[in-house]
């Protein structure tokens, strides 16, 4: 039987969301808020703020989330992890964020306390995994709950079927959206999405898009995450080593082309890993014909 074709998504109908991380210094804080202001006119579906495993960024994350809610019109989600915490400690965190106005959590297990590559062990009095955390959040309040998904499988998963089974458990527990690990091969994502749908999982599976700020650093990070970086990207960036503007142009082209191709395959939602930097994200969006609110208004008045 021929697989039904997905309708092509129009660029004008694309939805984007942005991920930020809490700043670790005054300079990084200034950079974050410059980025927020620069991206705000693009009217993202929501923005999210990361949360360190074991609550290592609890206060900075809460402070960032509060300011986003109080000082911007952006729908704001907070990441939440359960590594190294009891159920009671997680509930306290949830209540703090709920009091600040958070109604959307990105529920993640979090990296093992020993770091990426070490063995994960649930806290004796905590949530066993992300699916358990989602179920706990459902008991605590009427939240929107996003979870993670892995087109190339989580590094700790024994097989694709085990990985898919964990996603299904998270959905059965009450997850309403899945945000994927970044990837660069859209065929891998499409095959993954086919498996997800065949398993009866119907929630939105939103591709995570990573504009390439630094290819060498990205390769190191990808190797820890289990994500592949195609050799074609080396060829795309060849000759740009000493030219920051040329590198940025190639990076924006690569990210825009990836989104445009996914839109051709029927995908219309994208989660952008901004790395707290606006220029590359803006260049990518503009290549797709997505303009910020101020630009649209000034254009309409002209």
Band of residue 87 on the pLDDT scale cut at 50, 70, 90? very high
- The CATH number that applies at residue 15 is 3.20.20.220
Domain for residue 272, yes or no?
yes
Q: Judge whether 221 lies within some domain.
A: yes
Q: Quote the CA–CA distance of 292 and 302 in Å, as a whole number.
A: 16
Q: Determine, yes or no, domain membership for 264.
A: yes
Residue 5 lies in a domain: no
Q: Which domain holds residue 261?
A: 11-301
- Residues 6+ away with beta carbon under 8 Å from 127: 82, 87, 90, 133, 136
| CA atoms of 113 and 194, how far apart (whole Å) | 33
- Do the domain assignments include residue 281? yes
Structure tokens at 167: 């996603």
List of E strands, the chain: 15-20, 47-49, 76-81, 104-108, 144-149, 177-182, 205-209, 269-273
CA dist 51 → 73, 146, 205, 236 (Å)? 21, 14, 21, 33
Q: Report the relative pairing of strands 205-209 and 177-182 from DSSP bridges.
A: parallel
For the chain, the domain total comes to 1
pLDDT digits (tens, 9 = 90+) for 129-162: 999 999 999 999 999 999 999 999 988 888 999 9
Q: Which residues pair with 48 in a beta bridge?
A: 19, 77
For 68, the token pair is: 């986003």
The DSSP result for 151-198, as a single string, is: TT--TT-SSHHHHHHHHHHHHHHT--EEEEEE-S-HHHHHHHHHHHHH
- β partners of residue 81: 108
Q: What is the pTM of this model?
A: 0.91
What residues act catalytically?
Answer: 19
User: How far, in Å, CA of 72 to CA of 81, rounded?
Assistant: 25
Dihedral, 279, 281, 285, 290 alpha carbons, nearest 10: -80
Is 1 part of any domain? no
Report pLDDT digits (tens) over 157-211: 889 999 999 999 999 999 999 999 999 999 999 999 999 999 999 999 999 999 9
Largest CA distance in the chain: 63
Confidence of residue 123 (pLDDT cuts 50, 70, 90): low
**Mean pLDDT of the 218-222 span:** 94
**Bridge partners (DSSP) listed for residue 256:** none
20 assigned to some structural domain: yes
């Amino acid at each position: 039987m021929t697989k039904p074709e997905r309708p092509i998504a129009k660029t004008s109908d694309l939805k984007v969301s942005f991920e930020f991380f809490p700043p670790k210094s005054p300079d990084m804080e200034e950079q974050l808020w410059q980025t927020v202001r620069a991206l705000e006119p693009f009217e993202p579906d929501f923005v999210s703020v990361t949360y360190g495993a074991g609550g290592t960024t609890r206060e900075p994350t809460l402070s960032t989330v509060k300011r986003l809610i109080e000082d911007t019109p952006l729908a704001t989600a907070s990441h939440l992890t359960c590594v190294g915490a009891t159920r009671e400690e997680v509930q306290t965190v949830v209540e703090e964020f709920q009091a600040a106005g958070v109604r959307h959590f990105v529920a993640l297990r979090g990296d093992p306390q020993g770091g990426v590559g070490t063995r994960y062990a649930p806290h004796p009095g905590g949530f066993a995994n992300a699916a358990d955390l989602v179920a706990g959040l459902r008991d605590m309040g009427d939240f929107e709950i996003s979870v993670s998904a892995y087109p190339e499988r989580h590094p700790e998963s024994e097989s694709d079927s085990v990985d898919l089974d964990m996603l299904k458990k998270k959905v059965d527990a009450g997850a309403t959206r899945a945000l994927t690990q970044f990837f660069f091969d859209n065929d891998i994502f499409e095959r993954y999405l086919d498996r997800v749908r065949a398993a009866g999982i119907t929630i939105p599976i939103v591709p995570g898009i990573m504009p390439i700020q630094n290819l060498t650093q990205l390769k190191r990070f990808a190797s820890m995450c289990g994500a592949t970086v195609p050799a074609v990207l080396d060829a795309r960036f060849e000759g740009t080593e000493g030219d920051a503007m040329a590198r940025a142009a190639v990076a924006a082209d690569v990210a825009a082309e990836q989104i445009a191709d996914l839109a051709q395959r029927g995908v219309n939602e994208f989660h952008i890993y901004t790395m707290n930097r606006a220029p590359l994200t803006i260049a990518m969006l503009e290549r797709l014909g997505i303009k910020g609110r101020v630009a649209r208004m000034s254009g309409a008045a002209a």
